[in-house]
Amino acid sequence: MKEVLDFIQMYQYEILGVLALLLVILLIVIIKKKKSNIIVPDNEVIEDIYGTDDDNEYEENYDVIEEEESFTEDNNEETEVYEEKQEETDVKETPEKTKTIEDVKPKKQKNRQKRKLPSLLPQISNESFKDFKGLKILIAEDNAINQKVLSGMLDKSGIEVVFANDGVEAINILTNQKDFDLVLMDAHMPNLDGIDATVKIREKEEFDDLPIIALSGDVAKDDIKHMLASGMDYTLAKPVKMDELYKAFYIYSEDKNQQYDDIDTLDTELGLSLAGDEKFYKEIVKEFYDNYSDSYEKIVAYLKGKNFQGADKLLLDVSGICASIGAKELNENAINLKLSIKAKDLEGTKFNLKNYKNSLQKLKEKIKNYLSI
């Protein structure tokens, strides 16, 4: 016991300090416990944070939002019902639409070009369209004046022309007559325009190789792209120019060109009128036959030897004599060949050389019949 008392006496201040600390801790715990048991009314908290007026305004706004959402939901339900009814009505009342380029994915663009256009062509006139004698073409054009203009260009050309006044009529004509070589299609027509008509024509394999050339006043890139996507092959701007029409015919027609009448091969009446005497005329014709029947071979030899001056002189002689005896076809071809050689136009020279050969052969046959040789 004495030892305990001695220990307390020795460390009395330390022990009192520890007891004081424990007392403080105990008091803190008691105070916190009392605070946690205090209850604050909800209304007081709302008033402290928001205030009564603000809270009422918030509740009013929320009511409005609820009303708008309710109206929207009801409206959506009515719209869905209306759309369902409208779809049913459309199915019952709307007739089958003509398929358009937007509805039908067009076939891969096919190259229907028959021939490459020479870089050099003679000056085009109404007479030039005789190069396409024997062609049968369909022109779908609703404007009567435009029909007359095109008809005037092709008058006396030997081309068979059939007119259609709209896309529906064009399709009916093609269905009943399948021997057309070419179609000129106005892009904008009543009943069925040219673009939609072309889409329907391209759906049939029997017309897969039929060239269709668009006629349109719309020449913007997007318009041309739209026409080509429908299955059209080429576009001609309105008003149609004679030389552009000739080019289109040449590119998209078979080699039926240069099929002139016999009178163009050898117009004996013209030759006699120029010679003034039948005996003299026959002598000139015979001289041409004897001296220029092999002119094609000579021209080819000149060209191979790059003797362009020799070819030019020979063609000058041929064209001059042909003009004197009434050989219109060979005269024109000789002039065209001469011009293409002078311009160093390889494609044009090939084209005109072939025409020269064909027209020379026809003239030789005509002379043989005329002179009975």
* Whether the Cβ atoms of residue 348 and residue 115 lie closer than 8 Å to each other: no
Mean pLDDT of 255-279: 76
The winner for highest mean pLDDT among 82-86, 167-171, 262-266 is 167-171
pLDDT tops 80 at residue 306 = yes
pLDDT tens digit sequence for 138-197: 999 999 999 999 999 999 899 999 999 999 999 999 999 989 999 999 999 999 999 999
- What's the CA gap between 74 and 215, in Å, rounded? 53
The CATH architecture that domain 126-251 belongs to is 3-Layer(aba) Sandwich (3.40)
The side-by-side arrangement of strands in the sheet containing 136-140 is 160-164, 136-140, 182-186, 212-216, 234-237
Residue 308: what pLDDT? Answer: 94
Banded pLDDT at 28 (limits 50, 70, 90): confident
Query: How many other CB atoms sit within 10 Å of the CB of residue 23?
Result: 10
pLDDT tens digit sequence for 106-138: 455 688 998 887 766 778 888 889 889 889 999
* Whether the Cβ atoms of residue 164 and residue 140 lie closer than 8 Å to each other: yes
Residue that wins the pLDDT comparison between 89 and 188 = 188
Residue 90: what pLDDT? Answer: 43
Banded pLDDT at 9 (limits 50, 70, 90): low
* Whether the Cβ atoms of residue 238 and residue 146 lie closer than 8 Å to each other: yes
State the distance between the two ends of the chain, measured CA to CA, in whole angstroms: 172
CA distance readout (Å), 66 to 50, 70, 219, 342: 22, 6, 56, 89
Mean pLDDT of 293-304: 96
Query: So what CATH class is 262-371?
Result: mainly alpha
Q: Which amino acid is at 21?
A: L
What ranges make up the beta strands (E) of 78-198?
136-140, 160-164, 182-186
- What's the CA gap between 121 and 339, in Å, rounded? 9
Structure tokens at 170: 């064009």
| 74 φ/ψ sector (left φ>0, alpha ψ -120 to 50, else beta) | alpha
The 3-state DSSP class for residue 140 equals strand
- Reported as type and span, the H/E element at residue 181 is none
Residue 42: what pLDDT? Answer: 38
pTM score, whole prediction: 0.47
- What's the CA gap between 7 and 15, in Å, rounded? 10
The alpha-carbon radius of gyration of the chain (Å, integer) is: 49
pLDDT tens digit sequence for 206-248: 999 999 999 998 878 888 998 999 999 999 999 999 999 999 9
Name the average pLDDT for the chain.
79
- Reported as type and span, the H/E element at residue 55 is helix 52-93
- What's the CA gap between 313 and 101, in Å, rounded? 56
CA distance readout (Å), 334 to 155, 325, 327, 331: 25, 14, 11, 5
- Reported as type and span, the H/E element at residue 279 is helix 278-292
User: What is the DSSP-derived secondary structure letter of residue 217?
Assistant: S
